[in-house]
Structure 1
Amino acid sequence: MVTSRHAFELGSAVSGSVADFRLQVQRAEQERAAVREGELEAQVSPVKDPRERIEIWERLHALRLPRTSNHLLLKVIAKQTQLTLGQVHEEQIRRAAVGGNLSR
């Protein structure tokens, strides 16, 4: 029966395509995870200055450094970037002085 053989070949081709697609998805996920891991390491790197660390944190979390000096998020940013609260406040002040792009 040619019809069932054709169906088998078609099914095999689709299965191969699905397997290839799954591999591509897995590779893309691994690449994203590797990039994120690198960013997480960079946000606490002593080689990076506070401005760079905070910018990395902002990118990772899709948030901006708050403007107010008593915002609760500042302690989180300081902890996750391994900066002091004073260093985070200095970055707030620096951005305000240059007319920075701060959000609340």
Structure 2
Amino acid sequence: PERSSDPPPPRSVLAFFWSPDSRTLLVLTGPSKGDVEASGGGLRWETFDTETGRTSEFDLFRPTAAFVGTFLPFFDQYALSHRLWAPDSRRFCYTGASLGGDENGAWVQ
């Protein structure tokens, strides 16, 4: 069978957070903001290292309702009071569920 060469659907930048050392940008991508709740998940964290130009993508996940309804719409205001990054800029943490296994929890990447 022939494979489809259709490009993947476009993803929007929903939020972003600088690491404490200002070297790495943490970016949350997914469907447009209006479609996040309707999509049932499918968000992805990505990092961009400003010194090397390297990007990394992490597994898709389904965010919690509190994250989508409270945190995400005001991510820029929460960025200073609710840090996702560890103080040493090596890891970040978020809550949600894996799309594949329905495992809920706090995830450290």
Where on the TM-score scale, by shorter chain, does this alignment land: which range? under 0.3
- Higher share of residues assigned strand: 2
Give the TM-score normalised by the residue count of structure 2: 0.19
